[in-house]
Amino acid sequence: MNGSRPILIRNVDVLTASEKFRADILVVGEKIHTIGVDIPTENCEIIDGSGLTAMPGGVDVHTHFDLPMFGTVSSDDHYTGHKAAAFGGTTTVIDFVPLDKPTLEESIAAWREKADPKAAIDFSFHMNISRWNETIAREIPRLVDWGIPSIKVFTAYNNRLRISDGEIFSAMRIAKEYGILTMLHAENGDVIETLVQEALSQGKTTPEWHAHTRPSWGAVEATLRGIALAAQSGAPLYIVHMNAGGEVDQLAYGREKGVPVMGETCPQYLFFTVEHLRRPDGAKWVCSPPMRTPEDNERLWQGLAQGILQTVGTDHCPFFYDGTRPILYEGKPIAIPGKELGKDDFTKIPNGLPGVGDRLPILWTYGVRTGKISENQFVALNCTNPAKIFGLYPQKGALLPGSDADIVLWDLNKKLTYGVAVAQHRTDYNLYEGWELVGYPVKVFLRGQLIVDGDQWLGKAGQGRFLKRTPGTVL
Ligand code: URP
Ligand code: ZN
Ligand code: ZN
């Protein structure tokens, strides 16, 4: 299947953010040409879609591939992470560019150099604004020309990524003027610093202290601070990795007041709690912000179901649990230092989790099948809304004539036991080990090319394209 002949997917259930209906999908070249009934079949390669459901390829707007951290690097790069994403039904990712060169332009060029030859699905970038000066301020508007109309700012990670509230306010004003969306990592950096020093001085070094030193009130307060800055600057704001029920309450308040604020949560905050950090292998769950409580899980689900939150991203930033023991990846042994770096001190555990391939299958079984969100909400939250907010719609996130033929065929009756042996991440563990799934992607098309067929990988490094985005929509 090389895209030279039109592809006709016949008699498939088409699931979108607002509808479900039976139809044929005609793909010509890289695009969806027609969706209808009884489309003539001459010249077409026919795929029998009976019993299958077609959804748009997932859009994950929060990944960290090949990210240097704590003397190591996140273990999925722009190839292995893209491949894992594809197996889980995601065909577009947006990765964060660290500001680790003198200018934005040089930082982006360096990230493109790493990503372009490896990319296996389509991708774009957000720009971290983790330093503030006149040069950076002057450079922000140029992001629009480069097709990167989104920045991320931080109220945590003192002396590393955080800039001051005044600087965030200034960045947001510039962003607003040029149609750039500001994204916020909302925690209280000062409180975290104080609590971390206190915990270490008392010999409290186990993974659960990662959570205790990053209290949820800090996230709630910083979320409201961000919303207030959005209200005062008039700039739209997207709060990433929302993890605390109180943050959902703040977002609801801001939205009720008409402030242009939106929110994302991630699967880990829907399913896990601080209890997981207390396990002997608790380091597997160390990420920032941390896991909270069952009440927080519940309020986040409500936020998704009630439309207070607009998207689910993953914050995919995997590390090996034991980076001294190689795994086999595509037949070759590989080990990358990981969570063991912090076995005696939680502050040295690299922050982050695998997730880019897990998001859709896990949320289908444990979100849709459990009745927490509807089928249409599943598509809206994971595909359509992220594409709209980040300026990719209707090229991505949609099954419409003219859209890229990023089509995922799901077998909604397929049963499997999930875990590290199924997920394709380049790491040695999976958070959902042993979870029973019903419903899984069986064929994945990227711009009309079949890149995943059952458990077969047909994709390749370099086929993914950089997506120059335009300013998106506030939902
Ligand atoms: O622990 C995490 N989430 N690592 C990635 C960096 C971030 O703040 O998103
Ligand atoms: Zn963050
Ligand atoms: Zn992140």
Q: Is 214 in the pocket of ligand 1 (CB under 6 A)?
A: no
Q: Are 247 and 145 found together in one domain?
A: yes
Q: Is residue 468 part of a domain?
A: no
Structure tokens at 470: 């335009």
Q: Is residue 423 part of a domain?
A: yes
Q: Are 211 and 341 found together in one domain?
A: yes
Mean pLDDT within 380-407: 98
Q: Are 72 and 51 found together in one domain?
A: no
Q: Are 289 and 406 found together in one domain?
A: no
Q: Are 360 and 372 found together in one domain?
A: yes
pLDDT per residue as tens digits for the range 197-224: 999 999 999 999 999 999 999 999 999 9
Q: Are 451 and 326 found together in one domain?
A: no
Ligand nearest to the CA of 184: 2
**CATH code, domain with 265:** 3.20.20.140
Q: Is residue 462 part of a domain?
A: no
Identify the CA nearest to 290 among candidates 303, 304, 273: 273
Confidence of residue 4 (pLDDT cuts 50, 70, 90): confident
Q: Are 192 and 338 found together in one domain?
A: yes
Mean pLDDT within 239-262: 98
Q: Is 187 in the pocket of ligand 1 (CB under 6 A)?
A: no
Q: Are 323 and 411 found together in one domain?
A: no
Q: How far away, in angstroms, is 328 Cα from ligand 1 center? A: 26
Q: Is 78 in the pocket of ligand 1 (CB under 6 A)?
A: no
**pTM given for the model:** 0.98
Q: Is residue 51 part of a domain?
A: yes
Q: Is residue 374 part of a domain?
A: yes
Q: Using the predicted structure, report yes or no on whether residue 405 has a pLDDT greater than 90.
A: yes
Q: Which domain holds residue 453?
A: 7-55+398-457
Q: How far away, in angstroms, is 413 Cα from ligand 3 center? A: 33
Percent of the chain with pLDDT over 70: 99
User: Count of domains in the chain?
Assistant: 2
Residue-averaged pLDDT of the chain: 97
Q: Are 268 and 402 found together in one domain?
A: no
Q: Using the predicted structure, report yes or no on whether residue 333 has a pLDDT greater than 50.
A: yes
Q: Are 242 and 258 found together in one domain?
A: yes
Cα–Cα distance for residue pair 1/24, rounded to 1 Å: 18
pLDDT value of position 221: 98
Q: How far away, in angstroms, is 445 Cα from ligand 2 center? A: 30
**CATH code, domain with 414:** 2.30.40.10
Domain-ending residue, one of 366, 389, 412: 389
Confidence of residue 1 (pLDDT cuts 50, 70, 90): very low
Domain-ending residue, one of 370, 389, 408: 389
Q: Is residue 35 part of a domain?
A: yes
Pocket test for ligand 1, best of 351, 353, 427 (most atoms within 8 A of CB): 351
Q: How far away, in angstroms, is 210 Cα from ligand 2 center? A: 15
Mean pLDDT within 182-190: 98
pLDDT value of position 311: 98
pLDDT value of position 41: 86
Cβ density class 398-413: b for 16+ within 10 Å, e for less: bbeeebbbbbbbbbbe
Pocket test for ligand 1, best of 73, 264, 268, 288 (most atoms within 8 A of CB): 288
Q: How far away, in angstroms, is 317 Cα from ligand 2 center? A: 10
State which amino acid sits at residue 29: G
Q: Is residue 364 part of a domain?
A: yes
Q: Are 81 and 33 found together in one domain?
A: no
pLDDT value of position 325: 98
Q: Is residue 99 part of a domain?
A: yes
pLDDT per residue as tens digits for the range 25-74: 999 999 999 999 999 988 999 999 999 999 999 999 999 999 999 999 99
Q: How far away, in angstroms, is 394 Cα from ligand 3 center? A: 25
Ligand nearest to the CA of 67: 1
Q: Is 210 in the pocket of ligand 1 (CB under 6 A)?
A: no
Domain-ending residue, one of 389, 424, 446: 389
Ligand nearest to the CA of 60: 3
Taking phi first (over 0 means left), then psi (-120 to 50 degrees means alpha), and beta for anything else, what does residue 463 get?
alpha
Q: Is 161 in the pocket of ligand 1 (CB under 6 A)?
A: no
Q: Are 33 and 82 found together in one domain?
A: no
Q: Using the predicted structure, report yes or no on whether residue 335 has a pLDDT greater than 70.
A: yes
